[in-house]
Structure 1
Amino acid sequence: MSFDSSIEYRWIDGVERLELYEPGGYHPVMVDDYLHNRYRIVDKLGFGGYSTVWLARDETLKRYVAVKVGISSSPIPRREIDTLQALQGSKLRSQAGLDENACAIFPRILDSFHVCGPNGTHTCYTLTPAQGNLKEASFSRLFPKGVARALAAKLAIAVAFVHSRGFVHGDLHLGNLLVKLPSTFDDLSIPQFREKFGEPETVPIARVDDKPLTPNVPAQAVIPLYLGKKAQEFTLADAHGLILNDFGEAFRPAAEQRLGRDCHTPLATRAPEALFEPDEPLSYPSDIWNLGTAIWEILGMKFIFSEGETPDQIVAQQTDVLGSQNFPENWRKQWERLGEHGDDANNMIPRRPTRDREAWPALENAFEQFVQKYRRKREDAGTFGEEEIEAILELMRGMLRF
């Protein structure tokens, strides 16, 4: 599969990159297709770099499932299946020393199979479907204080459980945190589902050169359906239904190396060791850093570090918030080196920005500006008391350590 930047299809907002419908890439799936002679495609739930995700009706067991259809050239779908099965293994579960209910925090593999198509052979697997992810739910919104506490606690339990199995999740952020659907969801027939959620939103696919589409590409793109609710509508029951999703980047540090340069976590939440030590293996601490940034985002409205910045700007924000006195000396030497990017072998490693920039507030002030200020504006959200704020800040200092 080629990952060149050529544009072959007219742009459609909110869908996967259409150029990846090619040999080695995505499998063309359409609404009402049947996969494995059993799963009727109802709508699209989402997509990623290695798969598309569909809501389907299991015509054998009369229930809804999420079907992940992997690209044909990647081992990641198979790796995710193996990881989830290892996490859910009964022998390991009995040895974990953690609440057995922790297994309910992960997607459960219901079935796995392969489909063959014009772009190759694709690993597919079905899971219990979910409402949607916390990133979508919390966009410009706040979770009620009690719900935010419960979500943070549930996530910490999930990460502890993953680490107790010897795995690093490798991609912790709110986009990979889902919430279970109510048990009554399976009772909906497809016509009832359509009446409640509407028809699939589709857009015809067209080539920029107006040539006919090849069989590699579906005739229509499907805009993902959001089944969830807004953050302010979340209840404690929703929080207890949290699911830690997407184990495609997971790895076992004892069995395999994952170098910093191969970290695909969003830059705003990426652990600094992945930036300053790109040729060194990552391990559990990188997950803990991601856990800290995820908890902050659950509690507040604004990221602790901003999205859409360069590595240089992100690290500058990290030193603003956490204090440059805590910066490791070997990183400091690289951070303060002179010159511009591209002039040495270390041009991937961040360096202190030379241009003027807006300083980020220190941790205590950041909590006031990014969390408390927004909560005061929404009476139903609730603010944190002084004692709890101190506990949260101490937690952040422990997790967000250079």
Structure 2
Amino acid sequence: MTENHRIEYNWVKGVETLENYQRGGYHPVMIGDVLNGRYHIVDKLGFGGYSTVWLALDTNLKRYVAVKVNIADSLPRETKILKALSSSPVRLGYDLVPVILDEFKVQGPNGKHTCYTVTPAQCNLREISFSRLFSLKVARTLSYGLTQAVAYTHSQGYVHGDIHLGNILVKLPSSFDDLFIKQLYEKYGKPETVPVTRCDGEPLSSNVPAKAVVPLFLGKYAEEFSLSDAHPLLSDFGEAFSPASEVRLGQDCHTPPAFRAPEAKFESQAPLSYPSDIWSLATAIWEIIGMKPIFSTDFVHEDEIVSQHIDVLGPMPLEWWRRWEGRSQFFDEEGCPTESYRENRWFPLQESFEVGVQEWRRKMGDEFDNNEKAAFLDLMRRMLSFRPEERPTAEEVLKSEWMVKGHCLITSGAKVGAAYKHALGCLRLT
């Protein structure tokens, strides 16, 4: 389809860009379709720029799966990485990344689409934590589990490349598979669909589904989470890469600006590596723990994010400062904020913690004590070091005071020592 003849559709809130249902784009999937002769489509779980994700009943094994249907003719990059990550089931964190259950292709009006299935998850942490707080016990558990997942990914030679709450899922309870489709709809509601119409009023072609499906929410909100719910799953490895075999330059980093390590901008011609994930991991942990992200998640220019880095963390390396073309919008040559920027400055790290974390937790009666606060801020300072070589590894993050003590606090009685020794023993194997 030529670009100047692109068909436009009436906008539907909460669904993928319908204009991408064209040659080379999404595959039109409908509720009730059966893919690969066995996967009965029950509802939609989500979508991204390169795929849609569906809840399906595997009619062979009588269990639910998530089916990821990629855009047409896409390279099987993510499946290759997930298969590689499935190779070490004895290592700590193996069960915190998706395991591919099946892989197949479907031919449709928009081309040939690679698909794979994994165990379905509830929802992502962005959905369930927006304007809500996890209890401190749950937040510690999620942070520890996420760090385990990153440490495992790194131990297998891969950088995730896109760590943020939208890519961190929560596992479903095993009892979910006991639901018949009718019971699923009774519990969570039937699929929410909206008819698709063209802006020019012409009839639909086979390239696009007759109805758009609004993603199903299977989860519960943050304040309702218990420790038994706190099983994170690091997902979406579409931006992952192996530094040993693939050069990913800073200029090619697609992590959203609020979570992107600063070397991607200031060392744009240098290869990224594991430390870039550590920066993103720190921003994710901060959001799990608190109410306000450490840097703005609003749509702002990347120079504004850089100014926030300086506000929160202090001066950046001098060579970066000199190369930063946008600094005059925010600071004078001595590094003092300009008059126009002074009112919009972000708080330094400790004050950011008070405003974005502690104040909200105090209202819940679930705040950090002074010792835990000091340990947490020490970890954040190190993970958010401007220079990537100064950041700790994921294994070192797991061994930090805040992580170790937090993990022990949620482990009772005689299990404390055994769990801690087991964790350290597994870490030594990586």
User: CA offset at residue 378 of structure 1?
Assistant: 2.2
User: CA offset at residue 73 of structure 1?
Assistant: 3.5
User: CA offset at residue 74 of structure 1?
Assistant: 2.4
SS of 2:101's partner is strand
User: CA offset at residue 4 of structure 1?
Assistant: 8.7
- In the alignment, is residue 248 of structure 1 matched against residue 234 of structure 2? no
- In the alignment, is residue 367 of structure 1 matched against residue 358 of structure 2? no
Alpha-carbon distance in structure 2 between the residues aligned to 1:173 and 1:58? 30
Query: 1:99-122 CA deviation, whole Å, 9 max, x = no partner?
Result: 3xx211011111000000000000
8 Å contact kept, 1:180–1:243 = yes
Q: Hey, what does 2:400 align to over in structure 1? A: none
Q: Hey, what does 1:376 align to over in structure 2? A: 362
Q: Hey, what does 1:387 align to over in structure 2? A: 371
Amino acid at match of 1:163: H
Q: Which of residues 76, 97, 118 is equivalent to 1:127?
A: 118
User: CA offset at residue 267 of structure 1?
Assistant: 1.2
Alpha-carbon distance in structure 2 between the residues aligned to 1:373 and 1:336? 36
Query: 1:34-64 CA deviation, whole Å, 9 max, x = no partner?
Result: 0001000000000001100000000111000
Amino acid at match of 2:264: A
Amino acid at match of 1:250: A
8 Å contact kept, 1:313–1:353 = no
Change over 3 Å in CA distance of 1:148–1:212 after alignment to 2: same
Change over 3 Å in CA distance of 1:24–1:353 after alignment to 2: farther
Alignment of 1:139-218 (within 5 A): 139-218=130-209
- Using the aligned pairs only, state the percent identity: 59
Amino acid at match of 1:208: C
Amino acid at match of 1:360: W
Alpha-carbon distance in structure 2 between the residues aligned to 1:390 and 1:5? 59
User: CA offset at residue 191 of structure 1?
Assistant: 0.8
User: CA offset at residue 314 of structure 1?
Assistant: 0.5
Alignment of 1:19-168 (within 5 A): 19-75=19-75, 78-90=76-88, 93=89, 98-99=91-92, 102-168=93-159
Amino acid at match of 1:334: R
Q: Hey, what does 1:347 align to over in structure 2? A: none
Alpha-carbon distance in structure 2 between the residues aligned to 1:229 and 1:23? 37
Alpha-carbon distance in structure 2 between the residues aligned to 1:146 and 1:296? 14
Alpha-carbon distance in structure 1 between the residues aligned to 2:242 and 2:303? 29
User: CA offset at residue 3 of structure 1?
Assistant: 8.3
Amino acid at match of 1:374: W
User: CA offset at residue 318 of structure 1?
Assistant: 0.5
User: CA offset at residue 280 of structure 1?
Assistant: 2.2
Between 122-131 and 273-282, report the one with greater CA deviation.
273-282
Alpha-carbon distance in structure 2 between the residues aligned to 1:4 and 1:187? 50
8 Å contact kept, 1:20–1:26 = yes
- In the alignment, is residue 235 of structure 1 matched against residue 226 of structure 2? yes
8 Å contact kept, 2:73–2:114 = no
Query: 1:239-261 CA deviation, whole Å, 9 max, x = no partner?
Result: 2x211111111100110011222
Q: Hey, what does 2:247 align to over in structure 1? A: 257
Query: 1:338-388 CA deviation, whole Å, 9 max, x = no partner?
Result: 889xxxxxxxxxxx9895351110000000000001111223xx1000000
Q: Hey, what does 1:348 align to over in structure 2? A: none
User: CA offset at residue 401 of structure 1?
Assistant: 1.0
Alpha-carbon distance in structure 2 between the residues aligned to 1:37 and 1:304? 47
8 Å contact kept, 2:9–2:19 = yes
User: CA offset at residue 337 of structure 1?
Assistant: 6.6
Alpha-carbon distance in structure 2 between the residues aligned to 1:284 and 1:2? 41
TM-score scaled by length of structure 1: 0.90
TM-score scaled by length of structure 2: 0.84
- In the alignment, is residue 400 of structure 1 matched against residue 384 of structure 2? yes
Change over 3 Å in CA distance of 1:394–1:5 after alignment to 2: farther
- In the alignment, is residue 290 of structure 1 matched against residue 280 of structure 2? yes
Amino acid at match of 2:382: G
SS of 1:53's partner is strand
Question: Gaps (5+ residues) in structure 2?
Answer: 330-336, 387-430
Between 352-361 and 294-303, report the one with greater CA deviation.
352-361
8 Å contact kept, 1:316–1:353 = no
Change over 3 Å in CA distance of 1:88–1:337 after alignment to 2: closer
SS of 1:298's partner is helix
Query: 1:149-208 CA deviation, whole Å, 9 max, x = no partner?
Result: 111111111111111111000010111111111111111111111111111000011111
SS of 1:199's partner is coil
Change over 3 Å in CA distance of 1:354–1:194 after alignment to 2: same
Change over 3 Å in CA distance of 1:338–1:197 after alignment to 2: closer
8 Å contact kept, 1:312–1:353 = no
Alpha-carbon distance in structure 1 between the residues aligned to 2:223 and 2:328? 47
Amino acid at match of 1:62: K
Between 174-183 and 327-336, report the one with greater CA deviation.
327-336
Q: Hey, what does 1:344 align to over in structure 2? A: none
The number of residue pairs the alignment matches comes to 377
User: CA offset at residue 309 of structure 1?
Assistant: 1.6
